[in-house]
Amino acid sequence: MIDNLSDIHIFSGLPEEDLQYIVPFLKERQFKKNHILMFENDESDEIYLLRSGMVKIYRMYEGKEVVLSITMPGDIIGELESLSNSYHRISSIEALENVSVWQISSQDFLHIVDKYPIVLKNAYKILVERTRMLNRMIRYLTFYDVRGKVANLIMDLYYNFGTSRDSVYKIDLRINQSLLANMIGITRESISKTLGDFQAEGLIDIRGKYLYLLDMKLLESICHETEEFPTLRKWYNN
């Protein structure tokens, strides 16, 4: 649980007295797992600062869900619409687990942006990181076969949620095959088969819905020379 505003990426670099100025503008809220915080194209002026839990950002196309990203504690949700003077939501947001947030209105957020230029600079940085991540996902969708898509997604998940201890490499995120399939534009059946193939080949293991990487080098060799340095697989480099 994040308790300090200094741990919210968009407020990075602000001195403590300025963070204290922002506190009265915030409202604490909690949402249950599967709650929809925002619907695509709806009008809303709320912005959320994620304190705990994770949410998925997605869009619907011809009845199919396309997951754009998974957002983690420290991230901000909904600021782009405010900065572009639009109250129509670009995408939908759903809680993947119980989440706690600070809520701030668009008007108050824009006041803070005007008062503290570093906040706008941080917003640009976040936008660049999101654009880079989306460009990589587009490349996966466009150029790679199913094995290449799944291998790249596994490596991305490891560099964002991975832990390493005594040569054991674990993705500390409970595996939901439908979610993973929607992140790379394949069917649940396809990702289930590919994960099963990887497991049979000794590349990964799945224990209690957690994924373990058994052969990093072979996984990387399936990634079709994406030219991704490990640091570039990080979704947010704050």
Residue 227 pLDDT > 60 = no
Range 114-121, long-range pairs (CB < 8 A, 24+ positions): 115/21, 116/14, 116/18, 118/13, 118/14, 119/10, 119/11, 119/14, 120/83
Q: pLDDT per residue over 170-208, tens digit each?
A: 999 888 999 999 999 999 999 999 999 999 999 999 998
The H-or-E segment that residue 135 falls in is helix 117-143
CB atoms within 10 A of CB 19: 15
The pTM of the full predicted model, rounded to 2 decimals, is 0.88
Q: Name all domains of the chain by residue range, CATH numbers in brackets.
A: 5-140 (2.60.120.10), 145-232 (1.10.10.10)
Residue 31 pLDDT > 70 = yes
- Per-residue confidence band for 142, with pLDDT thresholds at 50, 70 and 90: confident
